[in-house]
Amino acid sequence: MVGVFSRSLSFPNKIPSRPSPKPRISRHIRSISLPCRSHPLISQIKDDIIRLTSWSSTSKLHPQTTTNLCHSLSLLAQLHSTLQDIFQLPHTQESLRRQPRWVEHLLEDFLLFVDVHGIFQSSVLALKEQHSAAQMAVRKRDHSKVILYVRARKRMAREMEKLASKIRCVEHNYGVTTTTTLVPVGDAELAGVIVDVIRVTACVSVALFSGIGSSLASRKLSWGQLVKLSRKGRSERSEQEGIKELRVESLCSLKKKGDEEVRSALKRMRDLEGSISLIETVSDRVFRALINSQVALLNTRAH
């Protein structure tokens, strides 16, 4: 019996055989792939959203410049690159597949972004060609061709306002209740990020289209006022509407102007051409990023 009790001393050694902590470790490992607050992609995209939201707010209070606008467009392209990575996360795809109606709604919005920015790219390319022709007309003092250029600018200004109106509709559709009414509580953070991306995309797009539209809407100023405006200090010119580098006033009565005035106008137009080219390049990156985001979202339904 003593031998039996001596063997029973091994019974307490079974205490370590309590449920292993491995399940908790495995749960922690799985959470690494979730788009939670600690995930680097979520942190990165939230930082970009904050910067773009701040820029959008200040741009309404201060005149825009080509440099600031292009910086915001570059940041928007980077934002969508991060969103594409988030769309590839297993948890994101799993979550979005549970919400097919919401995904369809998102795809419609991304399609609108792509269509509108595609139209914008075509319009900017046409404006570059018209602007090059207008510079030749100014050199030759060909008033009839300058008038055609002025009319083309006005047409594009109206087109830009139409594009801005389409994007404003998307912006208004995303109210505060969007996340809570359409998305399960467990996916609220993911949905909030996606909604915020759409909101800032709309804000930056409206700033782009409205800014260019306001700049191209010619005002009836004399040639002397045009020359005087080109010599003004930065603070005085900042009071004008639109994107400063894209503003060119009326080019009427071209034949009556002196050589110095013509040279001044041509310099202004060359600077404007450089600004148009820069905006075209950066906005093209946004256009391609929007296409890739749409494709990445579409792929979440295919896996």
Alpha helices in the chain (DSSP H): 2-8, 22-31, 40-59, 66-87, 90-97, 100-140, 143-173, 178-182, 188-216, 223-231, 234-237, 259-299
State the Cα–Cα distance between residues 187 and 299, nearest whole angstrom: 19
State the Cα–Cα distance between residues 260 and 258, nearest whole angstrom: 6
- The one-digit pLDDT tens for each residue of the chain (303 residues) are 444 444 444 444 444 444 444 444 333 333 334 444 446 888 899 999 999 999 888 877 777 889 999 999 999 999 999 999 999 999 899 989 888 888 999 999 999 999 999 999 999 999 999 999 988 888 888 888 888 888 888 899 999 999 999 999 887 777 544 444 455 545 788 888 999 999 999 999 999 999 999 888 855 444 454 455 455 444 333 334 678 778 766 565 666 667 787 788 888 888 889 999 999 999 999 999 999 999 999 998 765
State the Cα–Cα distance between residues 31 and 26, nearest whole angstrom: 9
pLDDT (tens digit, 9 = 90+) per residue, 36-46? 444 688 889 99
What is the sign of the dihedral through the CA atoms of 279, 285, 291 and 293? negative
Q: List, as one string, the DSSP characters of 245-268.
A: GG------SGGGS-HHHHHHHHHH
Q: What are the tokens at 114?
A: 């792509």
Q: What are the tokens at 173?
A: 């559709």
130-139 per-residue burial string, b: 16 or more CB within 10 A, e: under 16? bbebbbebbe
Q: Is 141 helix (H, G, I), strand (E, B) or coil?
A: coil
Q: What does pTM read for this prediction?
A: 0.76
